[in-house]
């Protein structure tokens, strides 16, 4: 995939149809494609749970990007909020006994954009993941006017999850920049092919300005 002809927004929020949809790999894959196209870019982990001092998702990004660790990684600018328990940010923060600092996240994004020009922000889980009580990930995206990339795959049930996510984005007034189909989970050829075709056709009809990208198994 050549990204030279794609006009990327300076900030993009990468979300998935579910946990383990392949967001980390998609984020690193897009970032590598942008770098290869001569576009300056950095990635950020929105909220990391299940880790202590470092974000494992940032590690995946850097390996795919081929950059090695960045100074901002060591300073936690690329992962400003890390919680130890692998759960929603809301629950993980309560378990760790501290509040999620949303201002720290947005300030970090500002700093990264100022230096690198483009920031890919990988979310935690899906759109409806609780951040603070009833304040959800999709609320943060809407508040900060972040266009979305939605990562999906060919698992059975993915069409349902994808259309629900697309509907939620539309209802919230969030721009859909792209859908990435993650080929890593392609097990049943019949289901995967039907899923690809259905999602492509849905985008053509309902989101004609959005890109459809297929990511190989990484």
Give pLDDT, residue 176: 98
- Radius of gyration of the chain measured on its C-alpha atoms: 16
Asked whether residue 199 is assigned to any structural domain, the reply reads yes
Asked if residue 1 is part of any domain, the answer here is no
| Residue 7 appears among annotated catalytic residues | no
Q: Point out the residues of the chain with pLDDT beneath 50.
A: none
Domain of residue 115 covers 11-215
Q: Is residue 100 part of a domain?
A: yes
What's the CATH code of the domain at 146? Answer: 3.40.50.300
Number of domains in the chain: 1
Distance CA 208, CA 42 (A): 28
Q: Are 157 and 13 in contact (CB under 8 A)?
A: no
In a domain, 124, yes or no: yes
Question: What is the pTM (predicted TM-score) of this model?
Answer: 0.96
Residue 4 lies in a domain: no
Does 6 reside within a domain? no
Give the pLDDT of residue 1.
Answer: 66
Determine contact, residues 58/51, Cβ cutoff 8 Å. no
CA distances from 165 to 5, 25, 131 (A): 27, 19, 17
| 2 assigned to some structural domain | no
3-state secondary structure of 67: coil
Task: Kindly state whether residue 5 falls inside one of the protein's structural domains.
Answer: no
Residues 32 and 218 sit within 8 Å (Cβ to Cβ): no
Which residue in the list 4, 45, 115, 187 is annotated as catalytic?
Answer: 45
């Amino acid at each position: 995939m050549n990204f030279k002809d794609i006009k990327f927004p300076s900030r993009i929020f990468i979300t998935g149809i579910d946990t383990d949809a392949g967001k980390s790999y998609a984020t690193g894959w897009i970032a590598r494609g942008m770098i290869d196209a001569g576009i300056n870019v950095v990635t950020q982990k929105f909220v990391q749970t299940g880790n202590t001092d470092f974000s494992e998702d940032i590690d995946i990004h850097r390996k795919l990007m081929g950059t090695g660790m960045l100074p901002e990684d060591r300073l936690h600018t690329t992962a400003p909020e890390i919680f130890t328990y692998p759960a929603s940010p809301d629950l993980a923060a309560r378990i760790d006994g501290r509040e999620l600092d949303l201002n720290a996240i947005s300030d970090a994004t500002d700093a990264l954009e100022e230096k690198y020009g483009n920031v890919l922000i990988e979310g935690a889980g899906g759109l409806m993941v609780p951040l603070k009580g009833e304040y959800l990930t999709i609320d943060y995206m809407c508040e900060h006017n972040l266009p979305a990339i939605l990562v999906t795959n060919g698992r059975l049930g993915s069409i349902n999850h994808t259309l629900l996510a697309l509907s939620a984005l539309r209802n919230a007034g969030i721009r859909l920049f792209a859908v990435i189909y993650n080929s890593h989970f392609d097990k049943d050829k019949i289901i995967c092919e039907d899923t690809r075709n259905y999602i492509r056709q849905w985008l053509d009809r309902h989101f004609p300005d959005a890109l459809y990208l297929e990511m190989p198994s990484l």
